[in-house]
Amino acid sequence: MSKEYSIEKPFEYLTRKENGKKFDDEIVRNWYLARSFVLRKFKDEEVGFTPDSNGHLHVVVVGDSPIMLTVVRQVALTAHFVNFCEGSETEEPRNRTVITLVSKNPNIKAELEKEEYLCNLPKYCKVVDHDVTTENEGFYVDIEIHIVNDYSVDSKENGTICFTERDVDDFCKTATEEVCGVDTRMSVYASRIYDLGVEFHNIPAEDIHSAKRYSLALNVFQHEMLKKSVGNMITEKWETMSLCKIKERISNILCSDCFSLRNECIKRCKEDNSLANKALWEKYNEPISKSEHARWVVEKLIMGYRPLNEKERYYDETLHAQFKNKDKRKKYRDSLKRNDQDPAHIDLCSYRDLRRINPDDMKYDSFLMLAAPKIMDRVKSDEY
């Protein structure tokens, strides 16, 4: 394996929004353990769906201890699939990932909304509480949470994955130092798309899912950005970076964590298709890009971001109408998303609305999904 790669510990740099204090060591350790546990289990189960399939993943988490709530968090961060349909004014969302939490705690929803667990996600995703109340049913978020008192593990349906306290405890007992950290190589490579110059920024927003549009930028990325030494993600700058800047770096980890899951979906498309893997990523760029936006929305809500409120959206639209000045509008949007105590992001919306509100940002999803197989190949080549 490449000697320049090392296991890093970026989650230690996350702090609480309100007071800037570090999270307890147990919380941070649970983030690492839950991440490794869920990624490994999904890989073992070969979870995946084709873009035209009508199924969904159902994960049952039995127990509400801190580590089990962290497992819920990690499933929500990871389980995003290319067959999700966010719905419209005339069509209900379908094929959401369903997470069922088994808990008798009457205050469990408030517990889930703690910053170390799901934070803002339950405020915007569909939540079914003990079959009594349902919130946010029509929302565009691709995660659905059910809270129940009991669940019979023996009677679980096909397609359901069940995680018990014993499953997680057994995994934690054998946890190595590598499990309690992050191989940041894929995230470092993924972050380099933001270093591309005019080859990327000059791509028009029209025909956004056509791979041909990105051919020059992809060549530069593959033959220049991916050729550079990977190095470490964490540098001395992290000690003085703002919380939102730290979250932006960690976002690359949460994004690249899903590459292999997406690749499993693409492999299923290949069963009846003679196209090579790279060509399949190109062919299905639109559903993969939509899935990436859905994943990103959930990530941002869990990391403490929120959509713009009505007053902020009105002012944003006023800037556009009065000044037609992209720089001024960009500065305003940046000021919202870089507010450590209460970050808000213009792109926290449905994919349909993103096309209207901020179409230029759709390029990042499309390009990143075209670059993903190249990043995975690059990391694989590091190991030989």
Domain ranges of the chain: 7-173, 182-382
DSSP string, 287-346: HHHHHHHHHHHHHHHHTT-B---HHHHHHHHHHHHHH--HHHHHHHHHHHHT-SSS-B-T
- pLDDT tens track for 189-231: 999 998 888 778 888 777 889 999 999 999 999 999 999 989 8
Return the pLDDT at 371. Answer: 95
CA pair distance 233, 253, nearest whole angstrom: 10
Return the pLDDT at 2. Answer: 45
Return the pLDDT at 337. Answer: 96
Q: Are strands 7-8 and 126-129 parallel, antiparallel or unpaired?
A: unpaired
DSSP code for 15: B
Smallest CA-to-CA distance from 36 within 190, 142, 210, 178 is with 178
What residue type is 305 in one-letter code? Y
**Mean pLDDT by groups of 10 residues along the chain of 384 residues:** 71 95 96 97 92 94 97 98 89 93 95 98 94 81 95 72 95 86 95 87 83 92 92 93 96 96 88 73 94 97 97 90 77 95 96 90 93 94 71
Return the pLDDT at 1. Answer: 42
pTM tops 0.85, yes or no = yes
Return the pLDDT at 134. Answer: 84
